[in-house]
Amino acid sequence: NAGVTQTPKFQVLKTGQSMTLQCAQDMNHEYMSWYRQDPGMGLRLIHYSVGAGITDQGEVPNGYNVSRSTTEDFPLRLLSAAPSQTSVYFCASSSTGALSWEQYFGPGTRLTVT
């Protein structure tokens, strides 16, 4: 099993550009989520999904969109990149979400917006 994979590993964007961060898992997990990690602030939840076709907002959803058309994939879209979105982004999955929060994390995408 590959676990949780994320692409790309690094990305530089100019202000106003859009892009999609890819996330996939091969563990048949229902719950998937996106976090951003900024210095001194731990990880903050952006969006999450409890299953295919169901998504909801986390703590910091503004400027981001998600969709969940399959169990395996959970892409994160930046609509119009801003310097405040410079961060490290992590995708995670877990088998039952609210019942057990043993989450599996991807290696992260380091995004810089200039």
Contact positions toward another protein, by CB under 8 A? 4, 31, 33, 35, 40-45, 48, 50, 56, 58-59, 90, 92, 97-98, 100-108
CB of 42 to another protein, least distance (A): 4
CA-to-CA distance for 42 and 40, rounded, in angstroms? 6
Q: What φ, ψ does residue 98 adopt, rounded to 5°? A: -65, -20
Residue 14 or 102 having the CB closest to another protein: 102
Residue 80 or 112 having the CB closest to another protein: 112
Residue 14 or 99 having the CB closest to another protein: 99
Q: b/e per residue, 19-51, with b = 16+ CB within 10 A?
A: eebebbbeeebbbbbbbbeeeeeebebbbbbbe
